[in-house]
């Protein structure tokens, strides 16, 4: 008989909506020993969080996360807030004996990430588990890419190329939202989307980045304040005037890197690639072949098998067969999955690990390691593309 896990989710915007549909649906598609119960949704505005709870399917609401994470009727705390709040919430929840799922990147700073990893290590002794939400690991084609690499499909890895391209702030009159403010977001394209390709590259290949030479750029230095736009009936304040604010994060990042197993890497993350809505691509070239993935064609994986000689050519694997990762829980072969399914697959992995008394992956230590890599990229960019080795996470 399945037991139940009572969940409190903090935050209810874009990621909160994605996580909510995962908690609503995971036990309807996967066999679970631990079934989620959507207990409490937490937000600062009582009226807004009440409306969100009704829409997203939560039983009740609260406005004080500190009170919620200590309640006896909560088993899991799901953190879907801006990065500046991750450390405080996660550490308090772990200390209260709650399992924690935290959105990526783990924190805004290395010090915060290390403190979170230490708190997770301490909580593990009492059976409390913690995981970072690098959801793209749960896309079936990405999971299959890892499986094939582990099986030796590409041989010795020589090149890793990752890019995450968006264009949602290419318009200079787009407002100064929280993701463009360092005190809330930690960094810009680097931490928001670059973190995904860095994690995907290390996850699929098993390599670890040991050094980087990077550059970042902020193309639009000032943007209209959201308040100024609303207060002016939709009209924007003059550039540089009282109706604008400074963008304090990067708009784009490029990096060269080397791994602990001798591979050369290139990484790019930008929110200024006009026409690219959510282009997440990873290519791995090895001595025996190549694997390539593009999220804009997310149900396919490209594979070049060099052993075929003159018959070799890129083949497209349609990742919709029951023996492909996660797919058996979903639709018949040929019926593709979408963005939201990665969150359901993630919820399944998290709940299954808790039920089995095992550590879910990636854990907070791995998330802290990624935070050190992000810091090394920022340091290299500040030093005008100097070569920087990430400090090992403590």
Give the pLDDT confidence of 254-271 residue by residue, as tens digits: 999 999 999 999 999 999
Q: Could you say which DSSP state residue 388 is in? A: B
Task: Check whether residue 179 and residue 323 sit in a common domain.
Answer: yes
Residue 241 scores a pLDDT above 60: no
Gyration radius from the chain CA atoms: 21
How many helical (H) and strand (E) elements, i.e. helices and strands, does the chain have?
12, 16
How high is the pLDDT of residue 393? 78
The verdict on 14 and 132 lying in the same domain is yes
Give the pLDDT score at 385: 87
Assess if residue 394 is contained within a domain.
no
Q: How far is CA 74 from CA 41, 67, 256, in A?
A: 11, 11, 44
Same domain, 186 and 238: yes
In a domain, 390, yes or no: no
> Where does the pLDDT of residue 139 fall: very low under 50, low under 70, confident under 90, or very high at 90 and above?
very high
Task: Give me the domain span that covers residue 373.
Answer: 140-297+299-337+369-382
pLDDT band at 80 (very low <50, low <70, confident <90, very high): very high
Q: What is the mean pLDDT of residues 107-136?
A: 98
Residue 234 pLDDT > 50: no
pLDDT at 95 over 60: yes
The domain boundary residue, chosen from 92, 110, 136: 136
In a domain, 343, yes or no: no
Domain count along the chain: 2
Among 124, 135, 98, 343, CA closest to 89: 98
Angle of CA points 86, 11, 50, to nearest 5° = 150
Distance CA 24, CA 33 (A): 16
Distance from C-alpha of 281 to C-alpha of 294, rounded to nearest angstrom: 4
CATH code of 18's domain: 3.40.50.720
Mean pLDDT of 305-309: 96
| 124 lies in the same domain as 267 | no
Q: Mark whether 128 and 147 lie in a shared domain.
A: no
The phi and psi torsions of 356 (rounded to 5 degrees) equal -85, -5
Please say which residue of 114, 136, 158 terminates a domain: 136
Q: How confident is the model at residue 236 (pLDDT cuts 50, 70, 90)?
A: very low
Structure tokens at 156: 């010795």
d(CA 386, CA 244): 33
pLDDT at position 239: 40
We report the CATH number of the domain holding residue 149 as: 3.30.360.10
Residue 279 covered by a domain: yes
The reply to whether 153 and 196 lie within a common domain is yes
Which residue has 């399992």 as its token pair?
99
- pLDDT interval class at 312 (50, 70, 90): very high
Question: Whats the size of the chain, residue-wise?
Answer: 394
Report whether pLDDT(128) > 50: yes
Mean pLDDT of 276-300: 98
- Over residues 327-353, the mean pLDDT reads 98
Supply the pLDDT for residue 2.
65
What own/partner pairs with CB < 8 Å and gap ≥ 24 does 56-62 have?
56/12, 56/16, 56/17, 56/20, 56/21, 56/24, 57/20, 57/24, 58/9, 58/20, 62/8
Residues 291, 375 within the same domain: yes
List C-alpha distances in Å: 119 to 20, 198, 280, 370.
26, 24, 32, 17
Higher-confidence residue of 252 and 239: namely 252
Q: Is residue 349 part of a domain?
A: no
Question: Which long-range contacts (C-beta less than 8 Å, at least 24 apart) are formed by 45-48?
Answer: none
Q: Are residues 222 and 83 in the same domain?
A: no
Report yes or no on 362 lying in a domain: no
Confidence of residue 392 (pLDDT cuts 50, 70, 90): confident
Average pLDDT, the chain: 95
- 235 pLDDT band (50/70/90 cuts)? very low
Cβ contacts of 287 within 8 Å, gap of 6 or more: 154, 155, 156, 158, 306
Q: pLDDT at position 228, please?
A: 54
Percent of the chain with pLDDT over 70: 96
Q: What is the mean pLDDT of residues 175-187?
A: 97
- For 137-175, b where at least 16 C-beta lie within 10 A, e where not — what string? bbbbbbbbbbebbeeebbeebeebbbbbbbbebbeeebb
CB atoms within 10 A of CB 5: 20
Q: Does a structural domain hold residue 391?
A: no
pLDDT computed for residue 176 by the predictor: 97
Q: Are 102 and 290 in contact (CB under 8 A)?
A: no
- Residue 187 and residue 124 share a domain: no
Given a cut of 90, is residue 69 above it in pLDDT? yes
Is residue 42 assigned to a domain? yes
- Give CA separation, 355 vs 32, 78, 127, in Å: 8, 17, 10
Q: How far lies 310's CA from each of 40, 289, 313, in Å?
A: 60, 14, 9
């Amino acid at each position: 008989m399945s037991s139940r896990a009572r969940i409190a989710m903090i935050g209810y915007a874009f990621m909160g909506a994605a996580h909510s549909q995962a908690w609503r649906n995971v036990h309807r598609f996967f066999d679970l020993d631990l079934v989620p119960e959507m207990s409490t949704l937490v937000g600062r505005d009582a009226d807004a969080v009440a409306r969100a709870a009704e829409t997203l399917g939560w039983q009740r609401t609260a406005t004080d996360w500190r009170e919620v994470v200590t309640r006896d009727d909560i088993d899991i705390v799901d953190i879907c807030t801006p990065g500046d709040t991750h450390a405080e919430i996660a550490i308090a929840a772990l200390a209260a004996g709650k399992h924690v799922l935290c959105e990526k990147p783990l924190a805004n700073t290395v010090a915060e990430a290390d403190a979170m990893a230490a708190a997770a290590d301490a909580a593990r002794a009492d059976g409390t588990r913690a995981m970072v939400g690098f959801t793209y690991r749960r896309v079936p084609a990405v999971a299959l890419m890892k499986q094939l690499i582990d099986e030796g499909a590409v041989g010795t890895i020589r090149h890793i190329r990752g890019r995450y391209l968006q264009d949602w702030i290419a318009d200079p009159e787009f407002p100064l939202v929280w993701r463009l403010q360092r005190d809330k977001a930690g960094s810009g394209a680097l931490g928001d989307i670059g973190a995904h390709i860095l994690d995907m590259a290390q996850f699929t290949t098993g390599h670890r980045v040991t050094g980087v030479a990077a550059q970042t750029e902020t193309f639009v230095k000032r943007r209209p304040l959201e308040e100024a736009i609303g207060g002016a009936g939709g009209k924007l304040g003059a550039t540089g005037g009282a109706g604008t604010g400074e963008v304090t994060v990067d708009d784009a990042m490029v990096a060269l890197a080397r791994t602990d197993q001798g591979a050369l890497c290139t990484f790019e993350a930008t929110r200024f690639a006009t026409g690219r809505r959510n282009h997440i691509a990873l290519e791995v070239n090895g001595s025996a072949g190549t694997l390539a993935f593009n999220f804009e064609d997310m149900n396919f994986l490209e594979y070049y098998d060099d052993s075929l000689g003159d018959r070799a050519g890129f083949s497209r694997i349609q990742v919709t067969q029951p023996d492909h990762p996660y797919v058996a829980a979903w639709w018949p072969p040929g019926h593709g999955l979408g963005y939201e399914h990665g969150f359901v697959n993630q919820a399944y992995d998290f709940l299954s690990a808790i039920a089995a008394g095992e550590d879910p992956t990636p854990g907070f230590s791995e998330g802290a390691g990624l935070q050190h890599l992000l810091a090394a990229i920022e340091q290299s960019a500040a030093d005008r593309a100097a070569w920087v080795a990430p400090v090992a996470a403590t």
